[in-house]
Structure 1
Amino acid sequence: QVPVYAPSLFATGEGPGYSIVLYMCLREGTAEKAKTEPGRKRALDLLQAFSSQDTSKQRDRLKVVPRMINIEQCHSDGLLSNTEKKLLVAYREKPVLTRPQHRFYAGENYLEVCLDVHKYAYLARKGLHSFRPRIKHLVFDLGLVLQGNQKEELPEVMLGGVRLRGLDFNSQVTLADRRRKAAEE
């Protein structure tokens, strides 16, 4: 959930926004490979505990690892100031725990994770909002990792990731628009 309104220092959590939906599943054969590869077994065990135990102790381990791919290109094209470039380079590939701005919904054979940027800290929302007009030019990867808290859970293993490019919040299609178009067809 990504807000589109200007952030306020004293208000969080409400207002119009966009949903970016990602769907991930385990590759076929993951369980079999985990039997012979310790790293996969460790990651699969962590994922199973994370998915099956509805406790903050387990669920507060989720981390997002952002990486902007085209920092130099955006800077040379004048889309990023020197300060913005330095900030993006400094935080590139730095894992961020998603807590407490996440919610979980579980069902048979699925776990939905909702990361609510509306509830992020003011500076994070302000930073994201400042990129809104330029975000369609940015290319970035988002990885998901479960934090390893014990020696036997390390090193951490990337669970999945996605590359996002061409996000244009000015050419969005609303649910009402989709329904209207479907009714016309």
Structure 2
Amino acid sequence: MSVITAKWTIDEYHRMIDAGILSSRKVELLKGEIVEMSPEGEPHAYSSDEAGEYLANLLSERAKIRHAKPITLPNDSEPEPDIAIVQRLGREYREHHPYSENIFWVIEYANSSLDKDLETKSKIYAEAGILEYWVVNLKKLHLVVFRDILDGEYATKQTLTSGTIQPLAFPDISVEVEKIINR
């Protein structure tokens, strides 16, 4: 007997949120499926918070840093990345979460969610056209950088433990890898 999973649209998901159905659950919408989010341990909370503050100072007025807030993607997904570096659209975000075209790149911090972040979310972000995706592996303390979308997937994957990296959206800025992984 095969199992058929009910798929939800972003509109249906928002109606469930508005009705309070999901208020006691920490979930996100991934390709039409409502998925439980892993709880945030101390290393996760500390590292993502410190990195967000570092990026906010580094990028200043050029981008907005959103911490664990939803982004709305065209593939019936509304994930809540640990950090989303987005366009500064001000009050426009009162009407909608950032769309793919508003996002410079996203960062996920992963411990127990590593497989989901490296596999499922990398495909979702690539399909949505997000040009760059970073995953911080909290177990091994390294940064995995996904770039170069080809046929709906990232064609390049680079692992860094130190040095600097220039985000595709801001090639004139050097980001210190150790300040992102908070070694």
Regarding TM over 0.5, the answer is no
> Quick check: which has more Rg, 1 or 2?
1
* More RCO (CA 8 Å, sep 6+): 1
Specify which structure has the higher proportion of helix. 1
Specify which structure has the higher proportion of strand. 2
The bucket for the TM-score relative to the shorter chain is under 0.3
